[in-house]
Structure 1
Amino acid sequence: MNEDDTRYTIGDLSRRTGLPVKTIRFYADEGIVPETGRTPSGYRVYDVEAVARLDLVRTLRELGVDLPTIRRVLAREATLTEVAASHAQALDVQIRTLRLRRAVLGTVAARGATHQEMDLMHKIARMSDTERKRMIEDFVDSAFGDLDANPELVELVRAATPDLPEDATAEQVEAWIELAELTQDPDFRTSVRRMAEYQAAERADGDTSGLHQDLTALVRERIAGAIADGVDPESPAADPIIAELAAQYATTFGKPDDPALRAWLWRRLEVAADPRVERYWRLLAAVNRWPEPESLGPVFEWFQRALRVRMGRLEGLERLERLERLEG
């Protein structure tokens, strides 16, 4: 007798496949792996084709394919290729869902969040691409919508929307959750609105200039160098740096290089000093897998301190001059 004529009992199949007898009997009763015949004693037996069929069923079940789909494959109503493709897509959705859940739970654990906060984070994480973009648009409209602020900046913020990919990592999802929460923070919205109002007021006074990336690069280069060299912003060693930068600002904005310019410059930096703005761009970069932006916080903090102390010195000199005139 050749192998094709061999008959296997349920016990044989169980030992061969590792499946429980109860499971094999269920498949037989459901017609998924029908028996080939019965022994004189009434026991079910199966041929080689049934064994191969059972091996296929076992493999598909281990891959998560449901029984109705397996029936279609066995009945040749669907090909293995079609089933594999559809289930691979379904698994992609499940994997993304699990990533989202993991990110939310990790954030909840790290923050010690409440039930309400967890519910909000879960809703934020599950937002569609359209909903994410709409949230950012709403944030931009609330800050700049009715103001004539710097158009280049407004366009930059409006165009830089979060694009959370289907295969987002837990870190990307966590960054998106924090970014979304930040855009909904009333205090942060007020702060950004204040910056926009300041820009609009500047434009109303005739300042229609753009972002001045070259000027920002010069500030970063000079002050980063000073920080690296250990130059105290309040020391005389910082004087030539401030003088150079003030002169460049005066030229760029068409203003006199005088004490009023330094006061104007300090005010400009003070309005933009909210560290959450930098955090906004870092989170957006993390979501979109952009290069991490360079931090300018220490640079502008140094610049502010240097300007503040020199403004104080000028005020002191002015008071001394007034006193000398009165005494004279």
Structure 2
Amino acid sequence: MSSHEDYWSIGELAERAGVTVKTVRFYSNRGLLPEASRSGGGHRRYGPETLDRLRLIRSLRALDLPLPEVRRVLEDEGAPGRVLEDAVEGRLRELGSELKALRWREAALRLVRECPPAEQADRLRLIGTVSLPPNTAPLARFWRAWLPPRMPARVMSAFLELAVPQPPDEPDPAQVLAFTRLHAMMTAPCPTGRQPQPEVHQVAGARGAAVLYTGLAEAYELAGPQLRRTRDPYPGEALDAYVAAYASAYGSRDTRQFRRLLAARLASGPRLDQYWELTAVVITPPGGRPEPTPGSADDWLRAALERDNVGAA
């Protein structure tokens, strides 16, 4: 059992810990440093074990853990270390988000600095419309409105994963510009109240839409390696999957006549070329070869279909 001689004043504790009296008082007032007793004059007295507790608090605060998390770690008796592990993981996630925001701000500043003076106002306007790091929710909302109604959630989520570009953690100015333009394009009011959808995609019922987009996703994945190798469009497995997606959605079969009819319908529909061009910039590492998108894969497959039809004529 400790005697009163073993207790330290607030000044003695501060000196041993290498902090100010103000710091000790701050943590004491918040209940993080329990007092062992009070002197006859009413002054706080602390036991030697408080020094280790104060050092732990300082270490946790040096990691920028907030006071509520520090308190939880200090009170962690049932599962030693678990609360600390969770707190550290949470702070790491927060720091990752903060660092990403800083990198996006840096790239945005470089974008403004490097553009001609006549374009600076336009660049600033675009940058001011998005959060940094940017939020992809407006792009997802566009696609939910564009896609056929009543699509199964599973199919919708799978297509959104393909169609909505994820902002890179370390963007360059070109990627910042591309994403801000994407955001502006997708949030601009549509004169008709809804972005046009290709007639070829307007298949009957939710089941047809689910079959179509599931099959298209498979075809795009098969075409991806050919695009990365910059191979010219050609008939093959990817094209077969592409045609099969439409044939299944229409309740038809993959015949020569169907391929000709499909090519004609595809050629007459509206396109989203600018969206996919900007998406390719967003997802392609600086200096790298353009990454495939659903748009570029669809272009490649359409060209392969045209080539196949010509070859069979």
Which one has a bigger Cα radius of gyration?
1
TM-score, scaled relative to structure 2: 0.47
TM-score, scaled relative to structure 1: 0.45
Structure with the higher helix share, 1 or 2:
1
